Structure 1
Amino acid sequence: MSIVVCSSDERVGNLAVVVSDPSVVQTLRSQLTWIVRGMYSNPPAHGARVVTNVLANKQLFDEWKDHIKAMSSRVTAMREALRAELVKLGTPGNWDHIVKQIGLFSYTGLTQRQAEYLIQEYHIYLLKSGRINVCGLNPSNVQYMARAMHDAVTKFPNEE
């Protein structure tokens, strides 16, 4: 067995341990978990250096702010487009919550059965709770998403 030691703020890699005695696996796992916990608590320094450079440079900082505004506007536009398509289709229910929520993710209000239907029939991958990543929507697929949601909601009315 070999051990590689590196600074916790510069970590990257993979560790594989091969043992011939299965009885040591639990102890070994416990010790490795102890070591790794310290690394999880100390993120790599690279990100901090990038942030420091961006915040210290007015041009980079202004560019970053513009990117944040563009991303935020895009997410808002996709939320509004999805809601508008659902309303246009006459999808049962009130879809205002989609535009009232903020952030990159949205709880659609779909049931587990409806979410599973979207996965199986439309290859739209979302959590069983109905939570979606709004960033996965774009002007080319928002109608597809709305039609799929409409189909799921009408085929499987809220039962849960």
Structure 2
Amino acid sequence: MAKGEDLDKIRHSLAHLLAAAVTELYPQALPTLGPAIDNGFYYDFDELKISEEDLAKIETKMRELGKSWKTFTREELTEKQARDLFKNNQYKLELIDEIIAKKEPITVYHSAAFFDLCRGGHVSDFAKVDLSGFKLDRIAGAYWRGDEKNKMLARIYGLA
């Protein structure tokens, strides 16, 4: 992967790249959350109907987009700016409500044209990430916030 970079930062950055690729290929998809995990990363989506056969296409799009990503830029937004940016994503709006309730700053990170609500933890130079060093592994179902009373989302796992 990237020499000298923390593996969790690489994995977290790849989760954002996954969300960017999915939303470009499937514009109706609503990205929710996507952390680094022990062996890679995942991202959960609503309004996404895909199969395991679609993973190769998503990987290809990730590698294509990743070539144009250089750094992650942090921006602190006002509540209005954040709500306007994510007005069509109920999950991000719920997260914004929680951030406001905690009186924390609302931050987004972006690389190229992709913006995501995030607290940080990314690679400093995305151009150094080896784009052959990850593999999308599988799709699973996951309830929003791990609560079976909530909607079932599509979770895409990646190894890195």
Instruction: Identify the structure with the greater strand proportion.
Output: 2
TM beyond 0.5: no
- Bigger radius of gyration among the two: 1
